[in-house]
Structure 1
Amino acid sequence: MTKVSAIIVASGRGTRFAPGQTNARPKQYHVINGSPVLSWTIRRFMEHSGIDEIQVVINSDDTELYEEAISSLPGTKLKPPVFGGATRQDSVRSGLEALTDAGSDDLVLIHDAARPLVSSDIIDAVLKGLSDHDAVTAAVPVADTMRHGTDDGVLTDAVDRNGLWVVQTPQAFRHSSILEAHRKAAGEGRHDFTDDTLVYQWFGKSVAVVNGARTNLKITREEDMAMVAYHLSGTPMETRVGTGYDVHAFDDGDAVILGGISIPHDRKLKGHSDADVGLHALTDAILGALGDGDIGTHFPPSDPQWKGAASDQFLIDAVRRVSALGGRIIHLDLTLICEAPKIGPHRDAMREQIAGICSLPVHRISVKATTSERLGFTGRREGIAAIGTATLSLPQQDD
């Protein structure tokens, strides 16, 4: 009996998704509508009756993220994950090699983890196509006008779009043939193919096309998340804004914790936790937009377990509450009010740190500072105040 396996490639770093960010969560693990992208993608193949087993290929640094992503999924079809390589080709080959019990007639579908909207109809179509062809890919005809452009952004001649297709995944093959093609490409040092149909055609085989769908989009940039969230939920989204305000007094010490980083200073901030007034304000801003109490509601200072706790725990929990409702954070804005320490030299580090805590691109984080012109307790250098503003996109709720 022919077995059908699905390889889901989830080992990429997504450099176009969050350019320049070394601490950004890979896009396949970003949470949309309460679940990581990878979880949605796996679920599409898990729920399809024609798929017998699923082999996920992950980055060796992402084991914990992967376990988190599959924690709510039944494991009946899932094989243990394997680690990918330096290129997509290396990762796909790792997945193919992991299917050690595959027979010569067994079939394999190769799919990008960042395409969570693949439908059962598309999976049906590529499987059906293998009845008559060596290999099949989902694709959609090019509908827009195509133009060449110069390096400095000037459009030149048009491209005839007749017969042009935008290639998607899944791509379906006989396991033995595509594995042989990948082994040959690796042996000859070819690592430049951008998808598996190109490897297969270089190997001398033909590839047929079946209709994909424009909704079967690949998450490439951060703005793609909103479109995927809309299609996954089918629910109109609404924008919510919340504000948070927090104050902490100075105490004897040699550094302050602000925005998740330690800044050398002749004082520290006094509080039950680490007294990060910036993260506290942002946490309250998110909770305010959710209408879900405040930081003291969820982490009461009377509870000894929060004594000296790092405040990123509070912010992570607030972000989790947004995701659990199927929402997303659009923007976080933090204003720190103090005479000292100087915030400017540390602003970018704070933005990076907050972005990492919240799994957001850094351009969605703003950190500013001002003084109170020597007025009030901040002007007297008795402490620091912070104002946080959170803008969220949440599924629309009936009034």
Structure 2
Amino acid sequence: MSVAALIVAAGRGSRAGQGIPKQYQPLLGQTVLARTLAAFVAHPRIDRTIVVIHPDDRALYDATLASLPAATSAVLPCVHGGDTRQDSVRSGLEALAELGPEIVLIHDAARPFASADLIDRAIAAAKEWVAAVPGIPVTDTIKVIDDRSRVLSTPDRASLRAVQTPQAFRFPNLLDAHRRAAAARLHAFTDDGALAEWAGLPVHVFEGDSGNIKLTHPADFAEAERRMKGETMTYVTRLGTGFDVHAFGDGDHVWLGGVSVPHDRGVVAHSDGDVILHALTDAVLGALADGDIGTHFPPSDPQWRGASSDRFLAHAVGLVRERGGIVDHLDATLLCERPKLGPHREAMRNRIAEIAGLRLDQVSLKATTTERLGFTGRSEGIAAQAAATIRLPEVSA
């Protein structure tokens, strides 16, 4: 069966930094796209390859193709993508329609480590199943949340798969599905497997490859180069501290550690006034040397009025992971006469662990009074101090 590969390279990839799309950024002397293309062009079972690019990237693409002399005859003229990934894939499929391949593999340009074995499995899956996607088992616990970041459910991870590319399809079936979606003015499908599901095609999952990573953030590039050099990632440990205070005001509860605690007072605050989450957020940001909570969520911005503070901590932890880092431990101490922490401690620890994606044993909560001294001793307000330990990839000077 004839096989075509369609490489999607029309995205802007702004999260990767450096000002140019990530697929054109260098990876040990070659662009990411060059490495991705080389894997497909060199595969003996792929007949032709087409690349979908952004119209503004023509010079970058031409330079990439020129660096691969062996690819010139195997790669069809590139086509321009659309406003969405789905539009870009459809443009590539329409360009392939004249050739009429029996199987098409859709692959993201930012995955330069697709192995020959993975490509073989993709082709075999398309022959057997019509529509198939590579997937790897999920090792983290996954939470389904609402718009306030509250947990709605915890799916059984044994039935979950993290989906990759290349995704493999019988060409006529996928082209028809794309045309039907375009006619229905549906353009939000982020992968072709989801579009095939919408079109009624049974989609099967075949064995993916944990090494087939997608390059998104600067830390991904650093790790990819280390991997290609055979180097081991080394980390530096950092400690950050945080402190927050709010005066008591009218109300019947206070938010502490992501939990609503009944109380005869509320707090005066721009957001929900959760001193524990605010202090933890500042501790994580401090370990990153990336400002404080006010830098990222200015109190002058009305969009944060009454905001749930779990969003602040999740953002800070997300910044650690974007830089390839690891959060090791979060520790907070509540300073007040009332309310008492004890009855709510475990609920708060569980909630903080959920927000930060940590195990329960990585979250510590304590409480103390100030022996009736100061504003907390006079029950005029409530405070918290916190510490966060993180590890970041070591960067050479």
Which category of TM-score, normalised to the shorter sequence, fits these structures? Answer: 0.5 to 0.7
Residue 80 of structure 1 deviates from its aligned partner by 1.0
Residue 86 of structure 1 deviates from its aligned partner by 0.4
Q: Residue 4 of structure 2: SS of its match in structure 1?
A: strand
Residue 170 of structure 1 deviates from its aligned partner by 0.3
Q: Residues of 2 paired with 1:112 and 1:30: CA distance? A: 15
Q: Residues of 2 paired with 1:83 and 1:101: CA distance? A: 17
The equivalent of 1:53 in structure 2 is 48
Residue 15 of structure 1 deviates from its aligned partner by 3.3
Q: Residues of 2 paired with 1:66 and 1:200: CA distance? A: 29
Residue 42 of structure 1 deviates from its aligned partner by 0.3
Q: Deviations over 1:171-227 (max 9, x none)?
A: 111111101110110010001111001111111111111111111111121211112
Q: How does 1:191-210 map to 2 (within 5 A)?
A: 191-210=187-206
Q: Residue 16 of structure 1: SS of its match in structure 2?
A: helix
TM-score scaled by length of structure 2: 0.56
Give the unaligned 5+ runs of structure 1. 240-362, 365-390, 395-399
Q: Which amino acid aligns with 1:201?
A: E
The equivalent of 2:14 in structure 1 is 15
Q: How does 1:46-85 map to 2 (within 5 A)?
A: 46-73=41-68, 74=70, 75-85=72-82
The question of whether the paired residues in 1 share the 8 Å contact of 2:93 and 2:175 is answered with: yes
The equivalent of 2:370 in structure 1 is none
The equivalent of 2:366 in structure 1 is none
Question: Could you tell me the percent identity over the aligned residues?
Answer: 43
The equivalent of 1:132 in structure 2 is 128
The question of whether the paired residues in 1 share the 8 Å contact of 2:167 and 2:193 is answered with: yes
Residue 159 of structure 1 deviates from its aligned partner by 3.0
The question of whether the paired residues in 2 share the 8 Å contact of 1:118 and 1:216 is answered with: yes
Aligned residues: 239
Q: Residue 162 of structure 1: SS of its match in structure 2?
A: helix
The equivalent of 1:216 in structure 2 is 212
TM-score scaled by length of structure 1: 0.56
Residue 238 of structure 1 deviates from its aligned partner by 9.8
The equivalent of 1:99 in structure 2 is 96
Q: Which amino acid aligns with 1:8?
A: I
Q: How does 1:304-383 map to 2 (within 5 A)?
A: none
Give the unaligned 5+ runs of structure 2. 236-321, 324-393
Q: Residues of 1 paired with 2:170 and 2:149: CA distance? A: 42
Q: Residue 132 of structure 1: SS of its match in structure 2?
A: helix
Residue 151 of structure 1 deviates from its aligned partner by 5.7
Residue 78 of structure 1 deviates from its aligned partner by 0.7
Q: Residue 169 of structure 1: SS of its match in structure 2?
A: coil
Q: Deviations over 1:47-81 (max 9, x none)?
A: 11111111000000000111111212121211111
Q: Residue 164 of structure 2: SS of its match in structure 1?
A: strand
The equivalent of 1:33 in structure 2 is 28
The question of whether the paired residues in 2 share the 8 Å contact of 1:237 and 1:393 is answered with: no
The question of whether the paired residues in 1 share the 8 Å contact of 2:127 and 2:170 is answered with: no
The question of whether the paired residues in 2 share the 8 Å contact of 1:117 and 1:232 is answered with: no
Q: Residues of 2 paired with 1:224 and 1:15: CA distance? A: 13
Greater share of helix: 2
Change (3 A) 1:16 1:153: farther
Residue 92 of structure 1 deviates from its aligned partner by 0.2
Residue 17 of structure 1 deviates from its aligned partner by 2.8
The question of whether the paired residues in 2 share the 8 Å contact of 1:29 and 1:38 is answered with: yes
The question of whether the paired residues in 2 share the 8 Å contact of 1:27 and 1:114 is answered with: yes
Q: Residues of 2 paired with 1:141 and 1:236: CA distance? A: 24
- What is the root-mean-square deviation of aligned Cα atoms in Å? 2.5
